[in-house]
Amino acid sequence: MQTSDGSPVPSLNLDDAATLLLQLEATDTADLAMLREALTDLAFENRVPLRAQPFVARAARVLGTIINGTAPDVPAAFADVSSAIDEAMQVSEGHAPAAERAVAQDPAPLAQHHVTLDRLPDDADRELLPDFITESNECVVHSEVALLQLEETPDDEEAVNTVFRAFHTVKGTSAFLGLARIAAFAHEAESLLSRVRDKEIAYTKGCADLSLRSADMLKALLVSVETALNGDGILPIPDGYDALLAALAGYDPQRDADGVRLSVAPVAAAMASANTASTNAASASKARVDSNADATIRVRTDRLDRMIDMVGELVIAQSMIAGDELFGAGKQHDLLRKVTHASKIVRELQDLSMSMRMVPLRATFQKLTRVVRDTASKAGKTVQLVTEGDDVEIDRNMVDVLGDPLVHMVRNAVDHGVEGPDEREANGKARLGVVHLHAYHASGNVVVELKDDGRGLHRDKIVKKALEKGLIDTDKGMSDSDVFNLIFAPGFSTAEQITDISGRGVGMDVVRRNLEKIRGRIDITSAPGKGTTFAIRLPLTLAVTDGMLVRVGDERFIVPLTHIHMSFRPEPAMLSTVVGRGEVVLLRGELLPIIRLHRLFDVAGAVQSPLDGLLMIVGDGDRRTALLVDDLLGQQQVVAKTLGDGLGKVPGVSGGAILGDGRVGLILDVTETVALAQSHEPHPARPDRYHAA
């Protein structure tokens, strides 16, 4: 380490620092800077005991205020530095620090002293703490990935070093900021990995459990710092902190036959609060790995979202200018050329701004690796997660919503889908179960497939349970897909035994509800004895929709391009009516039901006969449907807006968009529109409800 002028910092101990401090004044900035660097070196290089590091770090911070001229009271600041060094010396000699001595001398008001001890330091740099939380979450995410990798390949020295560096970084930074509890815990976790690195102990299952629990606890501790920072400064200590700290300090590999058993309360609630920060940290870390450190910058997400909203408003304004009647007359050729050039720039700006909010699914997939491991361990199974396509990117806001459904589905796949090792062996399968997670692009959507090689879904069991709950009267005429979709009903479960992992039927309905929030849908395919596949289809982003603008009477609707197969004007011989299915059109040997949008949304003045309008084929697979529209007005990329609290949720409509003439076009949710038509419940709203003001 060097001083500000480039010369090496003298190696000082605490006695030297205390003596030098007595000889300095506020004007001796060069010597004060040297002393500050020496104290920082003491704290970070572990040249003083762990419990003394926060006091040394505090002395360095206060010296910084003296050097920068920001200390409100210079004599008091010098006294504070001297007191901190004195405390560090006493702790180094084995004495308790002042706060703990006060508790020992006055044990009655113990709770009061406990609150004092569990607060953010009075001199904590609150501007640095948010960066500390983000950086530390990033370190913990990296350590968790390396720990899971290390469990598969215990001899991977690089993975050990990755975890060691992560814990060491958290320890050093938290000690510098005066967060003694985090520093102490990170030190013990680091020490365990140090023993693995130095070949003193092997990285066994018990060691892996303990290390992963340590990563969880660090996440919970970081959440407590965030809570204190945003609240009254009190640091809530997660349940199980002391037990886990003692287990780390007293870890004995000789008692590791069945793994470490700790009665540590779960920290899932705190983990949930840290999920978003972990995802963003992992994404930011990936960006730094792929490019130079100087080429990236952290941006607050609310500012990024605001910028994207403003770009969306710019796109709307540009489309209104380009759609002005002045250009339609064709008399302003130069102006038209300039507006067309501006439209191209705005479109590129929009694409660029949207790409800034796209993040890879890598961080989400990495978390699921841990979920599979822990769930399989609890269920007494051996299951491997295989991931593919984790570099596929989707909107950051969608990643946040997608996380919880995937966690629940993965737990169900491991707990209910994959059989136990003995059952698999009896059925001629490998004892190791496999859960495959695959993300890829298809037809403008992102598809996330979750596949297991387990026992599969049993139609008869699902039908029996659905009949018992009164969900259906009979399964006649229901396809396998229709039957499998019954598992999304609230409270539906065919599990014969309820576990602490799943089986209560309180999750799959939440999965579908969360996916519907981001305009996603989920399809199920399964074969008894061979496994189940859940395919989640998501739009790339929620902010922009590529759609076909269609006219129905006096109204205009936007149909997302990803759902459109083709449009055509039918011949009389192609149209017929089938009992139980209503109007249908015969297209290439396939009978497709016809949905009249003007009846569904009560639109006046629309074309009544399909022979006078157009049929638009939407959907996919065996769910294709023909929408009757008056005319196609052209393809457009529109900025999607919610309908607002005044209208709320309108069945069959996912949002609206401001068109070039200032009117509003409704964006159809094709899946909901088809379901609405099949339920024979036309929308009650009058057409004037949809007109723009």
Block mean pLDDT (10 aa), the chain, length 693: 47 82 84 83 67 74 80 83 83 59 37 44 75 85 86 84 86 80 85 85 85 89 86 79 80 58 39 43 41 59 83 83 69 80 87 83 85 85 90 83 85 88 90 92 82 88 85 78 81 60 56 78 86 86 78 89 86 84 84 88 88 86 82 82 72 80 82 77 37 31
Calpha distance 460→526 (Å, rounded): 13
Based on C-alpha coordinates, what's the Rg of the chain? 32
* Token couple for 430: 């490998």
Q: Let me know: does 115 contact 228? Beta carbons within 8 Å.
A: no
- Predicted confidence at residue 1, as pLDDT, reads 42
Distance CA 599, CA 595 (A): 8
State whether the Cα torsion 455-457-459-463 is positive or negative.
Answer: positive
Q: Which two tokens stand for residue 418?
A: 């994959």
Q: How far is Cα 658 from Cα 355, in angstroms, rounded to an integer?
A: 22
Tokens encoding 490? 């609230």
Determine the pLDDT at residue 113: 30
pLDDT of residue 550: 92
DSSP 139: H
Q: Is the dihedral of CA 329, 332, 338, 339 positive or negative?
A: negative
Dig out the tokens for 5 from the structure.
Answer: 């002028």
DSSP structural state of residue 417: I
Pair of tokens at residue 460? 């008869």
Q: What are the E-state strand segments in 257-392?
A: 358-360, 383-388
End-to-end CA distance of the chain: 67
Q: Is 612 helix (H, G, I), strand (E, B) or coil?
A: coil
Pairs from 429-433 (Cβ < 8 Å, separation ≥ 24): 429/453, 431/382, 432/382, 432/383, 432/384, 433/376, 433/381, 433/382, 433/383, 433/384
pTM of the entire predicted model: 0.60
Give the Cα-Cα-Cα angle 465, 466, 471 (nearest 5 degrees).
Answer: 155
pLDDT score for 43: 65
